[in-house]
Amino acid sequence: MLIKRPAGIKPSEITPYDFYRRRREFMASAGLLAAAGASGLLSAEAFGQDGAKLSGFRKSSFSTSEKPNTFKDISSYNNYYEFGTDKSDPAELAGKFKARPWTVKVSGEVKKPRTFGIEELLKFPLEERIYRLRCVEAWSMVIPWVGFEFNQIAKQVEPTSKAKFVEFVTVMQPETMPGLRYPVLNWPYLEGLRIDEAMHPLTLMAVGLYDQMLPSQNGAPIRLVVPWKYGFKSAKSIVEIRFVEKQPKVAWEVANSSEYGFYSNVNPDVDHPRWSQKTEKRLPAFFANHKTEMFNGYGDQVAKLYAGMDLKKFY
């Protein structure tokens, strides 16, 4: 499904102009734009492990009561720059992504470092959590993730007292991810949380969407979901987790620290330098028809994490 933008909004106002221009260059050079249409890359492969079903998960009390977006909405309009900078690129170009075999290495300031196979992680208690997703470009969706709390991993490895932050490292598959050919960001994509943020029960490791394994374009086979932060904080296709003492330099902060801070909490009072954050476009609507809520509506649960902090300074 192609979700059209209003005619008055230029693509360069949604994606940084240089990134938007390079997207067309690499699509042309790789010949992938034509190939996607000719070969039907919106195949079952692009939707995770051949659309494999998930079962045995329970509903979560953490879910919002809002109506979720459709599977088609969620899986066809994505930010995943390793596949391309247009919202349709991930669904068009993720058909050859390899989500098996898969392991996640957990290291750093922990007593019991180990590597988990994805099959082990799928045995953790799974829940369906319907979370709001708010992206920094001022659009949003409501998404029924299936996953487990990040703190379940932490319990297995036992962080030491030196662990103040958690880094999330994402996969690099140059043979399946055409966006890695261009320096849009420093690869591999790196994200990070303060350890109390990571350990909060709202912080989810998602392995599914609705009742299916995660589609490749949505971060298969395992991704982070932090619902009170802008969407880019929720790293996709994670291969390594590091517990560290010092605050990591994360991907978008390195790329442009004046626009993307480490915390990136949803905050209607702190505008992006190029657009307002006071309202949001709830897809598939065309216009900003929702008022943005502080912490994306999860303030009752997470505001205490930031007591005494200047959230305009620590944006």
DSSP letter, residue 21? H
Going from the first residue of the chain to its last (315 residues), give the mean pLDDT of each consecutive group of 10, the final group possibly shorter: 37 39 39 37 44 91 96 97 97 97 98 98 97 97 98 98 98 98 95 98 98 97 98 98 98 94 97 94 90 98 98 94
The pLDDT, as a whole number, for residue 49 is: 56
User: Rounded to 5, what percent of the chain is helix, strand, coil?
Assistant: 25, 25, 50
The confidence score (pLDDT) of residue 288 equals 84
According to the model, what pLDDT value does residue 104 have? Answer: 98
Closest CA relative to residue 230, chosen from 137, 149, 158 = 137
Q: Tokens for 109, please give them.
A: 């300031």
Structure tokens at 131: 């979370």
Output the pLDDT for position 19: 39
Q: The whole model's pTM is what? A: 0.85
Q: Which domains does the chain have, with CATH numbers?
A: 11-306 (3.90.420.10)
Helices and strands (DSSP H and E) totals, the chain: 10, 13
Beta-carbon contacts of residue 121 (< 8 Å; ≥ 6 apart)? 104, 148, 153, 205, 207, 222
Angle at 212 between CA 104 and CA 200, to 5 degrees: 50
Enter the DSSP assignment of 111: S
For residue 50, the model assigns a pLDDT of: 55
